[in-house]
Structure 1
Amino acid sequence: MKKNISSFLIALILALLSGLIYVAQIMVFHSPRDTCFYILQDFAFLPLQIAIVTVVLGSYLKRREKAERLKKINTVINAFFSEAGTDIIIVLKGFSKNCHEISEMLNIQADWNDNMFFKTAKYLQNINIQIECGANQLEDLTVLMKSKRDFLIRLLENPNLLEHDTFTDMLLSVFHVTEELIARDTFEVENKEDMEHISNDIQRALKALLVQWVEYMRHLRLEYPYLYSFVVRKNPFCQEKI
């Protein structure tokens, strides 16, 4: 409210100042006709000035603002995979019965191009990840997810992620797995219905994680080649890691 009042006062003061200047011009030069002519000239250029300010400059500012938001979002995504995402992927891929097939597709190399990343992401979106749960595996996963829970909550509270639906959906699916695991004191492998429920949650989270991880790697290649080279060497799916 105060901001709107301040803007109105500034506009009013500028309008009054403009009027005073025109009055002074008439009093000094005694030529109302010329003054009116120049006023009409100014009004004639007003639509063009508005077009330049609102359309051209406005579009530039929007693009710049969007680029800044994307930079902040990518910073958050980088933090996620550095702090938690990669560790979670390493554990979750151990639940996959077709992990070898997935690893072959995700054996990302330093010379990959955008087309290879897009092709891999599309492959992951359509693949059927087969999950098999064991009690010991679930207990290990629970320990990991408990240690990352507070970090995940802070990420979900980040307003910058509201514009990145796919990454937010991935975070929610990972957080859901965390809540499901924490809610159980023990894991009864004999309870087929419960194991199937957990398996479906893990499958959904792992697929979303892998798709976002591929996009994260593509972003690193474009923006941070030196960091990309390091992450490629540490690729959890690479068969020849350094």
Structure 2
Amino acid sequence: MVEIKRRLRIFIVFFICVTLFGTLGFMFLENQSFLNALYYNIVTMSTVGYGDIHPTHPATRLLAIFIIVLGGGTFIGVIANASEMMLLKREVEQRLKKQNIVLGIFFSEMGYRLLQFFSSCDIDREELADMMAIDVGWSEKELLAMAKTFKRTGLKVDMPKVDLTDLNQFLNKRHTFMLRLLENPVLVEHEGFTELLLALAHMGEELSSRASLTALPGSDLKHLAGDLNRGYHLLVKEWLSHLIHLKKNYPYLYSLAARKNPFNPKASAVVDNS
């Protein structure tokens, strides 16, 4: 998509330059009005050639040849790249929908559980809960502002509060599930989610590689904290991105996701208006 946009911009610049040059040339050489000169330029550039206006001077013929050779390719380039971009945009939108379906399954199977686990062990748990007080009534603008605020926030777990054995058992049970997600072709271009899965897989491998997860030395706990914090950060990042997508495209799915807010200890999927 980025490459197509770059090519389209280049062709548009050339198209504008050739159009201005040709229009001004026909105005000067054929003594035509701006509208007639522009019309003649476009007709020549598109190689339609109605014949109602035609060159009367050798210089005009040379100008027409220049426009046909350079302008024709530019004209076709603009149309071709614009069409390709529209088709690719539709394809990207369809792929994005499928990616978010997979993301929804991931959060239902393990994402929410991990978010609850990490947030309950966060060093700034109360401040984080206030910042992440997302509810059903939030607008897309508020969610986007939250995502920007999150980028400036450092998430850290309090290692003494972390039950490494429980985390290890949970990740081991979801090991096959994560491998299947990594093999899913829909997620090939979703680098953020792939990075998250790799971080969680590495976290599980680190924990499983230790004979015992109790009485670990401080240096090893510090090392594990780096792995946990990285996975925690990526997890929250993907969750917020997923919420924004749901809010924009599927309000009913967003409603459920917001009611299950893992940063709210009192969150519940039950709708209670009492």
Question: Which interval holds the TM-score relative to the shorter structure?
Answer: 0.7 to 0.9
SS at match of 1:123: helix
Given that 1:233 and 1:241 are in contact with CA atoms closer than 8 Å, whether structure 2 keeps it comes out as: yes
2:226 aligned partner = 200
1:77 lines up with 2:141 in the alignment: no
Distance 2:76 2:216 in 1: 71
Deviates more, 1:206-215 or 1:153-162: 153-162
Equivalent residue in structure 1 for 2:118, among 78, 85, 92: 92
Counterpart in 2 of 1:209?
A: 235
Rounded to whole Å, the distance in 1 between the matches of 2:189 and 2:136 is 30
Greater helix share, 1 or 2? 1
Tell me, what secondary structure is at the counterpart of 1:184? coil
In structure 1, stretches of 5+ residues that fail to align are: 1-42
After superposition, residues 31-180 of structure 1 pair within 5 angstroms as 44-45=47-48, 54-134=80-160, 137-180=163-206
| Pair 203,230 (structure 1): closer, same or farther in 2 beyond 3 Å | same
1:110-134 deviations in Å (ceiling 9; x for gaps)? 1212232222222322222232224
Query: C-alpha displacement at 1:52, in angstroms?
Result: 8.1
Identity of aligned residues (%): 31
Shift of 1:160: 2.5
1:181-226 alpha-carbon deviations (Å, 9 max, x no partner): 1111211434011110111111111111111111111212122211
Structure 1 residues 190 and 44, CA gap change in structure 2 (3 angstroms): closer
Residue number among 183, 187, 191 corresponding to 2:213 in the alignment: 187
Quote the RMSD (CA, aligned, Å).
2.6
**Alpha-carbon spacing, 1:210–1:191, altered in 2? closer, same or farther (3 Å):** same
Residue-by-residue CA offset, 1:143-178 (whole Å, 9 max, x unaligned): 111111111111112232232222222222122111
Decide whether the 8 Å contact of 1:174 with 1:205 is kept in 2. Answer: yes
Give the whole-Å Cα distance in 1 for the aligned partners of 2:216 and 2:77. 70
User: What is the TM-score of this pair, normalised by structure 1?
Assistant: 0.73
Q: Quote the Cα distance in structure 1 between the aligned partners of 2:215 and 2:155.
A: 20
Runs (5+) with no aligned partner, structure 2: 1-45, 49-71, 269-274
CA 1:61–1:199 in structure 2 vs 1: closer, same or farther (change >3 Å)?
same
* Paired AA for residue 111 in structure 2: G
User: SS in structure 2 opposite 1:163?
Assistant: coil
